[in-house]
Structure 1
Amino acid sequence: MDFHILGPLRIAGTDGSTSSGPGALKQRALLALLCLNAERVVSTRQLTALLWADDPPRTAATALQVYVSRLRKHLSALGAEPGLLATRAPGYVLDLGQRHQLDLHRFESAVADGRRASALGRLAEASELLAFAVALWRGPALADVRGLALLDDLGRRLDEQRNAAHELRVETELRLGRNAWVISEAWGLVADQPLWENLYLYLMVALYRSGRTADALGVYDTLRNKLVERLGIEPSLRVRTVQRAVLSRASWLEDRAALPLVS
């Protein structure tokens, strides 16, 4: 059985069936928090705080037991064995073991392996690992349970991990000399996050290396205008350094190995 939280909550059953999880929001939220803490016990206090924030009813403990029971029935209908959602003091644990998987774990493992490969200069391998990691995402993490404050915060943290993986992959592709890919990907990413400065940096370098000096300078102007208009600030020193290098046609811009020094 596979659990997917990198996007809307989804469960892939042992028989190949797919479920969006329990219909009730609180049961989906319960499952989401257990997935985020897979293999670790989540206390009843944490679960109560998730489901009722600062105003739990007197019957919260009983209601939580009912939610857990219903969640177990839902998982059982998808082919899960009874021990998957276990009672373990001081709360409950999603015990994945060897038979079940979580997309977050696969993502974190692939990113870690990608970083190690990049540090060792195995850029093609790093690119493949990071591409796999990014492809696991289907939208904002926990997209369908973001209405609860705790899960909204946790989801945003996961989204930042996705952004970091995107950025590392773009840098890796640039170091591999795949400028056309970097240009296309970076434009798509900044369309969603128009103030993501490092992406503009990589985009400027890729455009310059593609013989598009004017376009590279235009990218800088675009970023600067957005930062000044929205935040009243100038681009970072790193971005300004690249802009000056483009203006002077600095030789290091053509050196793939020099890029990490400014990233």
Structure 2
Amino acid sequence: MQSCFSTSASSDTITPYNEYHCPDYHERPESCSSRSSSPWSDMTPSAQGDDDVEMTDSPASSYASIEQPIRASPCACESEDITSEPSSGSSASLSTYVPPASRRLGPFSDEDRKAAKNAYLVRKELARVARAARVKELKRKALSINTKDRPSKAPAPDHQREVLRLVFDQITPYPDEAWISQLALHFNCRYNKIKNWFSNNRQKDASEYRALHPRDKYDLAATLRQIVCEGRELRLRPSALEHCDEEEWTDNFFYEVVLINDFRLTVKERNEKAHQDAAYVMLEMKNG
């Protein structure tokens, strides 16, 4: 067998270059050290002039044109054989993307579709019945507030009127029985008093509008949006639906809004009173 190794006649020692020199070394424009260690570098043109590699649109064909001369050479370095051979799975995943199999989420048959619809209607009816019982209990508690503790002629606190006005101007001028009961229980006020307050303010706003626009017709219902939430119809102002969807205006959410605004107004009222008391004390100290 003819060896591909050759030694230099003018030198007694064998250099690494001469020991691993291949006959076809000068025919190849690159060496093992000039190739990148990354397997993906074969997919891009080399900066040292790999003019013999013809790039195509397919990365797999580029790999084939590069790997054939490397495997044919018996003197190729071991590091080149390890680093230049990419995994077939990686190249396939980069060249093409196979989406996952689509899956039907809906019912497959008419029986399943009818069963799902019936189950939805049953849940909806159960929720409506449960809410009706809850509203009935709230109204009973609101109507049972002792009239001796809160007579109908008693003036309401300032922050209470501000909360009611906020509900009237920004949420709805037509609260239902559940919301009126929640307001009455929260403020420990009579149910009929809260209900009459909204009715009187609707009439007051209508009178003011007719005084300012005598030729125009006052239509409060036209400015409201009718929604369905928890199985009952509500008429809300557009400002109430700017940041909250229709299904979010549940009884619990409405009560949270009332609690937050009542707390803010109560703290504001206390701070203003504290500032007034402090200013009065400072004035007394200055005059005294």
TM-score (normalizing by structure 2) = 0.20
Say which structure is richer in helix.
Answer: 1
Larger relative contact order, structure 1 or 2 (CA cutoff 8 Å, min sep 6): 1
TM-score (normalizing by structure 1) = 0.21
